[in-house]
Amino acid sequence: MIASRRALIVVAAFVLMAIGLPWGGNVPAAFAQIQVLSANPDTGDQGTLGLNVTIGGKGFKKGAKAYFYLKGTTNPAGVTVRATKFVSDASLVATIDIAAGATADDFDIVVANADGRTGKGTELFAVLVKIDPCTLPDPLPTFSPFISGPPGVPGYLDSTFGDAGRVIDHRHVRRSVTYGGLVAIDSAGRTVFVGSRYDVCAANPQDEWAIARYLPDGSRDTQFGLDGIVTMTVGAGGGVSARAVVVQTDDKIVVAGSAKPSKASSAQAMLVRLNVDGSLDTTFGTGGIAWVSPFGSKVTGSFELLTLQSDGKIVAVGLAGSVKLVSRLEINGTLDMTFSGTGYCFWNAEGLFRGVTTQRVGLDERIVVVGVTPDSLHHNVGTVWRFTGAGALDTAFAGTGIVQTSFHVEDGRSLGDSFRNVAIDSTNRIVAVGMMSYYLVPGDLSTAQSRVVLARYDVNGNPDTSFGLDGSGRVWAPLSPSGDDVATAVAVHDGRIVVAGYIKPSGTPEQAGTLWRFDPDGAIDTTFGDGGSITDAVAGGARLQYWFGLALQADGRIVCGGIVTMAGTPQISYIALARFWQ
């Protein structure tokens, strides 16, 4: 296992009492409480130049100088203090260079005033070996020490999947979107993951589509592509990005994204279909690719969301220039001309589309899209659109085809709401999941927080008054200690609502994948995980780890898909999967 990570400044969480040290003869009384307060940038490995280290204490005077010595010695060991800036009698900023071959160990920090008074902080600063991830071979990053509960306990890792419930695989695969849609499960219980492969260690890296498939036990499906993964540059290359995936009933795989059909064109919205073995299905579109360019090849477009109707028709949602696009295609990849007469319709007003599904309304199947639009006060709010099978806004839905929902009290704290994904429950209600963003202190961006929210609507677009404690059809998830919570995907099983996303664990700069589960009435389900949610950092030494997709197996077990990005330069990403009991 490798730990391809860039070492961080080690800042003590406690105040050390200073002691006098004989750094050149008899020393007057020492400063008190020498400690590192911060560092900018926050890395201190070999080869770091111009690192600004803020040092706290008492009794500093103008002209004070800071010194870094290998712990217990007077040897600078490759750390050079370029300058010491006096800030106050309690604060200095030392600008230091760390040599490429600096000793990887703890350093004492000494501050000396012109009158000879000194102070020392021990083990407040550490230099570690700089590791170049590109020179390190696979295998993969080490798994975090997260321990699963007994088999079958809701919210805990299913140890029969991968390595104790998790898979980290395929180097250089990264996410293409920040909302759900990257994973799907086929009829054989195999998990399909899509993303973008970008080899940051190559001389001239290029984006490629990456589609990987895993067997029900989490191992690579070696019957798919090359050792379980298909990578390809679609079209003429450039603007290549795989953004969403669905699996048809015959287990053929449809992937949505963007690519350039020719070198002279802009990137276009398009779909690719793969056979069960990972080869291009040439019966789909043109040679396996369906291009959709409503405004011609010079206008940039992309498909970002994807779902299937019950009749097998493909609904793809994205952009054509700045216009939001909803498109429907026949099973063979041609545009469905019964949909708005062209195969697509547009949303020209402000807003973003972030999730799509279909809903049965009587004998018809309607298309439900969620996202965000501004309200009359110019605040972003969660929005639901419903389109008819003919490609028009469905006026039977809330009278206009559009419903806006705010989760804020207007007190100057609102940064806006948005829906990020959507599901339909067993009674045909719409469940939208997203986030509200707000200031703790009005107008102070440094106090911004985000919180996971849900809303449920009946078939007519009315808030479901049986959902949420206040009867408004809205739910606010419990806030994590960091207040940096994001939802990306949602699914419903036996009435319970499962939400995937990520949080920033308190006191860390990293992100970690998180699952929440809610009872049918919207209350947090305390029987799931740790009081209703579960956070798993997946890999040791990871800088970022997100869940960007969520799919349920036939037996209800939860499969999450996302990306692990390791700490280091360059940053190297891997596919991450995990399976949880429900």
Give just the sign of the alpha carbon dihedral 162, 168, 169, 173: positive
CA dist 169 and 162 (Å) reads 10
Among 262-266, 275-279, 513-517, the range scoring the smallest mean pLDDT is: 262-266
Instruction: Compute the mean pLDDT over every residue in the chain, rounded to the nearest whole number.
Output: 87
- pLDDT at position 504: 85
Q: Cα separation of 36 and 351, whole Å? A: 45
Q: What is the pLDDT, as a whole number, of residue 505?
A: 77
Secondary structure (3-state) at 579: strand
CA dihedral of 168, 170, 172, 174, whole degrees rounded to 10: -60
Q: Which residue has the higher pLDDT, 50 or 117?
A: 50
CA within 13 Å, CB half, 513: 34
Tokens of 55: 């040092």
Distances (CA, A) of 578 to 35, 127, 128, 327, 538: 40, 34, 31, 32, 8
The full DSSP string for 263-274 is: TTSPPEEEEEEE
Which residue is it, tokens 């798993």? 536
Residue 28: pLDDT above 50?
Answer: no
Query: Above 90 in pLDDT, residue 524?
Result: yes
Alpha-carbon gap, residue 510 to 563, rounded angstroms: 13
For residue 517, what are the CA distances in angstroms to 149, 150, 501?
A: 17, 19, 12
DSSP calls for 500-561: EEEE--TT-S--EEEEEEE-TTS-B-TTTTTTSEEEE--BTTEEEEEEEEEEE-TT--EEEE
pLDDT, position 120: 62
Distance of CA 309 to the CA centre of its chain: 28
Domain boundaries defined on the chain: 35-131
Around Cβ 72, how many Cβ atoms within 10 Å?
10
CB 573 within 8 A of CB 173: yes
Distance of CA 164 to the CA centre of its chain: 22
How far from the centroid of its chain's Cα atoms is residue 222's Cα?
28
Q: Is the CB of residue 112 less than 8 Å from the CB of residue 59?
A: no
- Greater confidence (535 vs 462) lies with 462
Residues 6+ apart with CB under 8 A from 495: 425, 426, 519, 520
pLDDT at 13: 27
Report residue 5's pLDDT band, with 50, 70 and 90 as the boundaries.
very low
Percent of the chain residues topping a pLDDT of 70: 88
| CA 54 – CA 226 distance, rounded (Å) | 51
- Identify which of 101-105, 135-139, 350-354 has the greatest average pLDDT: 350-354
Task: Tell me if 267 sits within 8 A of 236, measured CB to CB.
Answer: no
Q: How far apart (Å, rounded) are the C-alpha atoms in residues 168 and 159?
A: 14
With b for 16 or more beta-carbon neighbours within 10 A and e for fewer, the 541-551 pattern comes to bbbbbbbbbbb
pLDDT of 10 over the 60 cut: no
Is residue 172 a contact partner of residue 198, using CB atoms and an 8 Å limit? yes
Tally of CB atoms within 10 A around 114 = 10
Q: Please state the rounded mean pLDDT for residues 489-494.
A: 97
pLDDT at 135: 75
The Cα 482–Cα 37 span in angstroms is: 20
Cα–Cα distances in angstroms (integers) from residue 391 to residues 263, 329, 340, 351, 422, in the given order: 32, 12, 5, 18, 19
For 89, what's the count of Cα atoms within 13 Å in the CB-facing half-sphere?
4
- Which tokens is 270 given? 């398009």
pLDDT in tens, 401-452: 999 999 986 677 888 899 999 999 999 999 999 999 988 888 787 788 999 9
Q: Which residue has the tokens 């997100």?
A: 546
Average pLDDT rounded to a whole number, residues 459-471: 95
Token pair, residue 285, equals: 């579109």
Q: What is the pLDDT of residue 545?
A: 86
Whole-number Å distance between alpha carbons of 338 and 74? 81
- Residue scoring higher pLDDT (366 or 235): 366
pLDDT at residue 42, rounded to an integer: 67
3-state secondary structure of 294: coil
Q: What's the pLDDT score for residue 147?
A: 55
Q: What is the pLDDT of residue 33?
A: 61
Q: Are 159 and 153 in contact (CB under 8 A)?
A: no
Least confident of 174-178, 221-225, 263-267, 569-573: 174-178
Q: Are strands 79-88 and 474-476 parallel, antiparallel or unpaired?
A: unpaired
Q: How confident is the model at residue 14 (pLDDT cuts 50, 70, 90)?
A: very low
Number of helices and strands (H, E) in the chain?
A: 0, 36
- Which sign, positive or negative, has the C-alpha torsion 180, 186, 188, 193? negative
Residue owning tokens 């020490």? 145
DSSP assignment of 42-90: SB-BTT--SEEEEEE-S---TT-EEEEEETTSS--TTEEEEEEEEEETT
In this model, does residue 19 exceed pLDDT 60?
Answer: no
Instruction: Evaluate if residue 573 carries a pLDDT over 50.
Output: yes
pLDDT grade for 21, boundaries at 50, 70 and 90: very low
Sheet architecture: strand order including 380-387: 352-361, 364-374, 380-387, 402-405
Percent of the chain with pLDDT over 90: 61
Instruction: Output the CATH code of domain 35-131.
Output: 2.60.40.10
With contact defined as beta carbons under 8 Å apart, do 47 and 78 qualify? no
